[in-house]
Amino acid sequence: MSFPLLTVTAALPAVGAIATAAVPAAKRTVAKWSALGFSVATFVLAVIVLVRFEPGGERYQLTESHAWIKDFGVRYELGVDGIGVSLVALTALLIPFIIAAGWHDADPLEDKNPNRRWRPTQGFFALILAVEAMVVVSFEATDVFLFYIFFEAMLIPMYFLIGGFGDQAHEHGDDEAAKQRSYAAVKFLLYNLVGGLVMLAAVIGLYAASADQLGHGTFSLQEILQARAAGKFDLASSTERWLFLGFFFAFAVKAPLWPLHTWLPNAMGESTAPVAVLITAVVDKVGTFAMLRYCLQLFPEASKWATPVILVLAVISIIYGALLAVGQRDIKRLIAYASISHFGFIIMGIFAMTTQGQSGAALYMVNHGISTAALLLVAGFLISRRGSRLIADFGGVQKVAPVLAGTFLIGGLATLSLPGLAPFVSEFLVLVGTFSRYPALGIIATVGIVLAALYVLVLYQRTMTGPVKAGVEGMKDLKVREIAVVAPLIALLLFLGVYPKPLTDIVNPAVGQTLSDVHKTDPKPALEATK
């Protein structure tokens, strides 16, 4: 048996979570360094996974397979394809930055009640690592049930992160903010839990269907795919559609797709910036990833059946998210609506069912993770300096804190997909991929890009330019720790914007295989078709 690299990559942050939680109450700094250390070590492992992964090799690599719950037909099966491996790497890359950016977010306030034995710092960092561990397992799992377990279980630490830790600078310990935060956490949990439970019904249905057709219930993705290739697993189309809807509903809540998106602005607005990054850049990616892996591969016919509706919803997400972003007065909610718009692009790319569209979607997941992290983390630094999230409270920041303003601008430009920065490549691919099959939708979606330019540039103009507003005068520029967080992300955005080939090389074979599962080929170029 070879070394279980994937298991170790997922287990290390889990161990880190326990170790961090166990640090004594007084040793806050030890807990922080422990969390950072474990997350960096996980990143190193993820890089090793990335290096060991051979693009163009077997479909699922570094596989592990062990019996787990025989009665449910569940196996502990891990394996990564090109998309999975890049998302594992993205997760492992972002977590150290999230931890470093949130270095002081969970320092206890001046404690009014010395009796409470609440240890926020340890808890905060342990929960982040716990989320990382669960997200990594969901990207690695090739067993539907194993995926489902961690897909659901990650809600719990996420819920505590949103509800337990707000912007301290913003709150001043007042009750109204705490109520808002608790509301946001509950909304997040209920939306996702309901999605998950609907999926549970579909998971049980999948078991019943496989038990019916194969003689034994199974959740193994590979076994199901092989059985279908051999003609032994053929769902009735009504069954397949119901199961598809059950799965898709859960992923659409998580992703989030209009009209199931309303939890995201609350959750991102009320949580601290690093937690907001964790939600939108890491956790939500599980939703879009799962559409690509589970919806399309398990239920190809139903996916094609649902494509028109999903594409329309995705385009609505793009336009609606962008329009609402333009109208926001709160920086974090603005970024949240921008994310909804971007998730619309990702979903559109997935369901356009073209190579370019899906490669674009896979790249988009990675690029959106990096660009949103950069923008949101800088926004978080900005907010914590002023103690307000409202755009109207800022103005002329670039005069007092030029580095902060500059990094904010680059993050913003990445968000609006400026050519030369990484998101441009993926957005372009998604649009081209969509256009080749659904020209009308492709054209409407481009409006989203225009709106993106509007909300980003207006945001920059209102907060950074103009006369220096009261409350902004003494604002300090970025500290070394903060620059260390932002600089590598910006470097990466530039690198992948100019030279995306390493990433596309990893992602493309996986996309090709997925499309062949769905029996879709790219439409012929127009010229050739008219011949």
189 in contact with other proteins (CB under 8 A): yes
211 in contact with other proteins (CB under 8 A): yes
Q: What DSSP character marks residue 203?
A: H
| Segment interacting with other proteins, rule: CB under 8 A, options 146-154, 361-369, 385-393, 439-447 | 146-154
Tokens of 67: 């019996």
Contacting other proteins (CB under 8 A), which of 110, 175, 176, 528?
Answer: 175
Tokens of 249: 């509903």
204 in contact with other proteins (CB under 8 A): yes
Query: What's the one-letter identity of residue 389?
Result: R
At CA 386, angle to CA 375 and CA 414, rounded to 5? Answer: 10
Question: Among 418, 324, 339, which Cα is nearest to 372's?
Answer: 339
| Segment interacting with other proteins, rule: CB under 8 A, options 70-78, 333-341, 380-388, 433-441 | 70-78
Which residues on adjacent β-strands are paired with residue 271?
Answer: 166
185 in contact with other proteins (CB under 8 A): yes
Taking the least distance from each CB to other proteins, the nearer of 58 and 107 is: 107
Q: Which of residues 342-381 bind other proteins (CB under 8 A)?
A: none
Tokens of 262: 């309303």
Taking the least distance from each CB to other proteins, the nearer of 149 and 382 is: 149
- Distance CA(84)–CA(80), nearest Å, equals 5
Taking the least distance from each CB to other proteins, the nearer of 28 and 342 is: 28
Contacting other proteins (CB under 8 A), which of 150, 244, 248, 351?
Answer: 150
126 in contact with other proteins (CB under 8 A): no
- Distance CA(6)–CA(81), nearest Å, equals 12
- Which residues are CB-neighbours of 116 under 8 A, at least 6 positions away? none
Taking the least distance from each CB to other proteins, the nearer of 205 and 512 is: 205
Q: How far is the CB of 188 from other proteins (least distance, A)?
A: 11
Q: How far is the CB of 67 from other proteins (least distance, A)?
A: 8
Taking the least distance from each CB to other proteins, the nearer of 46 and 245 is: 245
Give the x/- contact pattern for other proteins in 74-93, rule: CB under 8 A.
--------------------
- Distance CA(187)–CA(263), nearest Å, equals 6
* Beta carbons within 10 angstroms of residue 84's beta carbon: 28
Q: Three-class SS string for 247-273? A: HHHHHHHHCCCCCCCCHHHHHHHHECH
Contacting other proteins (CB under 8 A), which of 48, 190, 440, 498?
Answer: 190
Question: Among 145, 162, 236, 128, which Cα is nearest to 199's?
Answer: 145
Q: What DSSP character marks residue 117?
A: -
Could you give the 3-state DSSP secondary structure of residue 109? coil
- Distance CA(220)–CA(134), nearest Å, equals 19
* Beta carbons within 10 angstroms of residue 29's beta carbon: 11
Contacting other proteins (CB under 8 A), which of 11, 41, 169, 200?
Answer: 200
**Cis, bond preceding 256 (omega within 30 deg of 0):** yes
- Distance CA(310)–CA(303), nearest Å, equals 9
Contacting other proteins (CB under 8 A), which of 38, 53, 103, 148?
Answer: 148
- Which residues are CB-neighbours of 316 under 8 A, at least 6 positions away? 258, 344
Tokens of 317: 């997400």
Taking the least distance from each CB to other proteins, the nearer of 188 and 299 is: 188
| Segment interacting with other proteins, rule: CB under 8 A, options 198-206, 220-228, 230-238, 343-351 | 198-206
Taking the least distance from each CB to other proteins, the nearer of 51 and 67 is: 67
124 in contact with other proteins (CB under 8 A): no
Distances (CA, A) of 128 to 404, 504, 506: 25, 29, 28
Question: Among 63, 119, 55, 50, which Cα is nearest to 91's?
Answer: 50
Contacting other proteins (CB under 8 A), which of 81, 152, 167, 330?
Answer: 152
Tokens of 270: 């009320």
| Segment interacting with other proteins, rule: CB under 8 A, options 68-76, 250-258, 335-343, 453-461 | 68-76
Taking the least distance from each CB to other proteins, the nearer of 43 and 145 is: 145
Taking the least distance from each CB to other proteins, the nearer of 150 and 460 is: 150
- Distance CA(314)–CA(342), nearest Å, equals 9
| Segment interacting with other proteins, rule: CB under 8 A, options 91-99, 115-123, 374-382, 453-461 | 115-123
119 in contact with other proteins (CB under 8 A): yes
Contacting other proteins (CB under 8 A), which of 182, 222, 297, 513?
Answer: 182
Q: Which residues bind other proteins (CB under 8 A)?
A: 67-72, 113, 115-119, 148-150, 152-153, 155-156, 159-160, 163-164, 175, 178, 181-182, 185-186, 189-190, 193-194, 197-198, 200-201, 204-205, 207-208, 211, 217
